[in-house]
Amino acid sequence: MYKLIMPQEFALSVFDITPEKLKEKGIRGIITDLDNTLIEWDRADATEDLIAWFQQMKDAGIQVVILSNNKEARVKKFADPVGIPYIFQAQKPLGKGFKRALALLDMRPEEVLMLGDQMLTDMMGANRSRLYTILVKPVAQSDGFVTRFNRFIERRVFKYLSKKGIKTWEEKE
């Protein structure tokens, strides 16, 4: 069970992910969650740092697509100004959204990284789709209602990992 929701790496933020690191792994595309991965779930617009990160990826030839369970209005308001393609109401962890994102990128799973902040949606769906996975620390301390249940389960997983001596982003701080 844990194997299905475990990321291959942990990162404190998306800013820890660089084009150089991705190219070493043969990664040419990124599928990323939006809320609490890129920005706080209650923030509408990209930060200047995030805009620069998107540009850094673009300059390196790495394509980015947003895959969100949120409604179109929320995702569109964020994605359109920064010129990032998106898929809304993705129903993660189900595979349909991941397949659509791979088709949009026109890449094979082994060429694509999934960035997300939740094990039960982002990591599970990406692992089932055979993508490379990185779990980032949530950018906000608060969550929307639905996410609170996932965080409860994740806290139990993190305790288990700690007992097993497996380091997560919690130990990187």
Total domain count for the chain? 1
pLDDT at 46 over 90: yes
End-to-end CA distance of the chain: 27
Domain residues for the domain of 137 are: 2-86+104-172
Helix (H) or strand (E) holding 171: helix 169-172
Angle between helices 48-59 and 72-82 (to 10 degrees): 70
- Give a yes or no: residue 93 inside a domain: no
The enclosing domain of 148 has a CATH number of 3.40.50.1000
| pLDDT over 70 at 169, yes or no | no
Domain-embedded: residue 95 = no
Q: What is the pLDDT of residues 133-160, one digit of tens each?
A: 999 999 877 556 666 667 677 777 777 7
Hey, what are 3's tokens?
């194997």
Full strand arrangement of the beta sheet holding 86-87: 9-11, 132-136, 112-116, 29-32, 63-67, 86-87
The structure's pTM equals 0.86
Strands 9-11 and 132-136: parallel
Task: Determine, yes or no, domain membership for 128.
Answer: yes
